[in-house]
Structure formats: structure tokens, C-alpha cells
Amino acid sequence: MAQHALGTLMLPWSTSTQRATKRVPVDPALLAVTLTLALVGVVMVFSASAVVAGNRFHDPWYFLKRQLAWLGVGLLVMHLISKIDYTIWKKLAIPLLFGTTVLLVLVLVPSLGSVAKGARRWLHLGPINIQPAELTKYVAVIYIAAYLTKKQDQITNFARGLLPPLIVLGLLSGLVLLEPDLGTVVVMGLVVVTVLFLAGARIKHLGLLALGALPAVAALILGSSYRRQRLMEFLRAAKDPTGSGYQIHQSFLAFGSGGPFGVGLGEGKQKLFFLPEAHTDFVLALVGEELGLMGTVTIVLLFGLFVVKGFQIAGRARNPFGRHLAMGITLLVGMQALVNAGVVTGLLPTKGLTLPFVSYGGSSLMANLFGVGILLSISRDRQGGQDSSGPRVARKRGVVTE
């Protein structure tokens, strides 16, 4: 038990210990933003998918029921994770990395992996399918945060500090590319490199890596027929609105017809078999049509607030692991949202990346809520479990804490 010394007198009570163990609540703004985005997602998924589900499965509630089930489980996971001391993830980084690698390998086994739209990204686990690549992004961030905590002083050294985590990232990226899923690899790579930069890696080293990666990315795009086709669609979308540019043209029509305030919730027309993937990758376009510019801007501002709160949590974390982990998770959500917004507005080539919390998809929703749970856990510990005014008051009074 901690004791206080005032001169030579030892006082048996422990007011600072009580202060140190005072429970700090989770960040309410981050929690509110997450819940708002998830609930908006439920509404928009139902609006976007009811007609398609009724036609395909003879049940207009098909996608809604599954999204609600995943959301319920995800919120429970988020709550439980937020109660766990986040430092445990540093100890679990290597086991998680190994387990994720096994899952990525199992996806490639024909009898286990499920193929949809030419990609083998889903793994059968009983009555449900999961997408290991969604979890891989968060495991990569946990691993990088744990690595930087141990090797922070060597990060400026290319061979001993920077290269080892990049080799691990390359292994994970290679397995994800075999599915294939270039979008996830790009987002994961951008996040990891940004975290390394913020941790003190030299710009010269990162610049050389970027120059070396460009030919590899070009080879991956030009060497794959469907990726090359997507790039050509992006470059000539305006010239062929009924052919290669059909999907992005329909997305433009959705945004354009929405106007300032939208045509009304549930009244959108592009979801009526005009805009493909209206409930997944292009859900933001439907938001623009039914809720208008105001609805779209609101969604963007919510993601902006999420990023701001995530950075604040990272800045208040009590140790380097918490700072790196909070920064990585925040960047992961923010960058994926930015890429998705870029795709639906025609600023980036089409990629199979969902809008976090809003798009339909159980694996994506679960992984993102898992990440938010860790962020909330870090936010509980934002002052190292202490009242920041305590130590200053003690020093002014000449009290020495042992």
C-alpha cells in the first residue's frame, strides 16, 4: 500500500492510490459517433437492399436481419474489448499474427474458401462466412504497435528497425493478394507506413520503399485482366457511360438527383437494379440520393470527428504501445472511409472496399467494432489512471509519494 511522508511523519491512508485507481469512463464522443454511423448504416442497408433481397431471396428483410445480427454481436464484442486492459494485445501480437496467417491460408483451400465474383475471400465457419482479410488489417496494426514499442530506438535504422516489420507486412499482403484483394493491401500498407513515419522512421527510407513499390503495384494492375479493366474504366468512364463506366455513372446520377436534401429516405431510384452494390461498396451514393448533400456531408463530418477523437486518444495514451495502436486503428478507419468516398465519387478506381460501419458486411462491421473497442479501452486509460492535478498539488504541499 502506498504511503505518504510529510517530514518524518508516515501517514497510513492512501488518497493518491484511490485517485490512481479511479475509473475513467470511455470517450463519449467516439462512442456516440460509432453508434450513429452503425445505426445510419442499418437504415441505409435496408433501404438499399430491400428490393434486391426480395427479388433474389424472396425476403426483403434478408440483408437487414443479418446486418442487425452482426451489429448486435459486434456491439457486445466492442463492449467486452473496451473493458479489457489494452496492453494485453501487445502480448498477443505474435499469436494473433500466426492465427491470422493460418486463416488466410485456409481461405485459399478450395474446400474451405468461398468464391464470389471471382474472388476467394470468405471462409466457411459453420453457418456463417467470415472474411479474414478484414481482421488482418487490425492484426497488422497490433503487431506494428507492439514492434515499435520494443524497437522504437532502432526505427531509424533500415536493416534492424524498418525492414523486419515490412517483411511481415509483405507476407500478409502476399496472402491477401492471392484471394485477390488489392484494395485491402493498399489500405493496410498506407496505414502501416504512416504509423512507421509517425514513430520516427526516416522519410528517405520510406521514400525509397515507395519508389520500389510503384513498379510492383503497376505490375499487379497491368498483369491482371480485371484490374487492368477497372483502371481503363476509371480513365474512360465519361466516354462510355453505358459500358465500362456504367457503375460510376449510376453513382453520379444518384448524387446528382439527391440535390441539397435528397429525394427522401426510401425513395431512391438507383437502388432499383440500376446501381450495382448499392448496399455495400456504393452505399454512400445512395445516401447522397436519398438524404442529399446534407446527408453526405454529415457522414463525412462524422468520420472526420472519429479521426479527431482517435488522434486525441492516441495523444493521451499512457505508453507508446497505446499511442501507436490508437493511431493505427484511427488511420485504418479514416483511410478506408476516404478511399470508399473517393471510389463512389469517381476520384479513384473501383475497389471492393466498404464504408466502415455503414456498408453491409458482417466481417467488416465486426472488425471495425473490435477496433473501436480497443480505442475505447485506451481512452479509459488516457491519464494513466491518475487525476492529472494530483501530482502537482502534492508537490506544492511538499508531500513525497513513495
Place of cell 445510419: 40
Note the pLDDT of residue 240.
59
- 223 pLDDT tier (thresholds 50, 70, 90): confident
pLDDT digits (tens, 9 = 90+) for 16-40: 334 444 557 889 999 999 999 999 9
pLDDT digits (tens, 9 = 90+) for 242-270: 666 778 888 889 999 999 999 999 898 88
State mean pLDDT over 170-188.
Answer: 90
User: Distance between CA 162 and CA 152 in Å, rounded?
Assistant: 10
Note the pLDDT of residue 35.
97
Reduce the DSSP state of residue 43 to 3 states and report it: helix
Note the pLDDT of residue 18.
40
Note the pLDDT of residue 1.
43
Take residue 228 and report the three cell numbers written for it: 487492368
Q: Is the distance from CB of 297 to CB of 330 less than 8 angstroms?
A: no
**Residue 337 pLDDT exceeds 90:** yes
Percent of the chain with pLDDT over 70: 85
- Give the residue, 159 or 358, on which the prediction is more confident: 358
State mean pLDDT over 263-281.
Answer: 88
Cis peptide before 391 (omega within 30 of 0): no
Place of cell 485504418: 332
**Residue 11 pLDDT exceeds 70:** no
Q: Is the distance from CB of 121 to CB of 107 less than 8 angstroms?
A: yes
Tell me the CA distances in angstroms from 176 to 100, 154, 271, one per residue in order.
Answer: 11, 29, 30
User: Distance between CA 318 and CA 29 in Å, rounded?
Assistant: 20
Quick one: 371 exposed, middle or buried, by C-beta within 10 A (0-12, 13-18, 19+)? buried
Q: Is the distance from CB of 97 to CB of 105 less than 8 angstroms?
A: no
**Residue 394 pLDDT exceeds 80:** no
pLDDT digits (tens, 9 = 90+) for 192-206: 999 999 998 899 988
pLDDT digits (tens, 9 = 90+) for 115-157: 776 678 888 777 778 899 999 999 999 999 999 999 888 888 8
Other CB atoms within 10 Å distance of the CB of residue 74: 22
State mean pLDDT over 214-227.
Answer: 75
Of the candidate ranges 241-255, 293-307, 375-389, the one whose mean pLDDT is the lowest = 375-389
Note the pLDDT of residue 4.
43
**Residue 317 pLDDT exceeds 80:** yes
φ and ψ at 194, to 5 degrees? -65, -40
**Residue 374 pLDDT exceeds 50:** yes
Of residues 176, 122, 116, 182, the one with CA closest to residue 350: 182
Note the pLDDT of residue 10.
41
Note the pLDDT of residue 114.
79
**Residue 401 pLDDT exceeds 70:** no
User: Distance between CA 388 and CA 402 in Å, rounded?
Assistant: 18
Note the pLDDT of residue 113.
80
Note the pLDDT of residue 140.
96
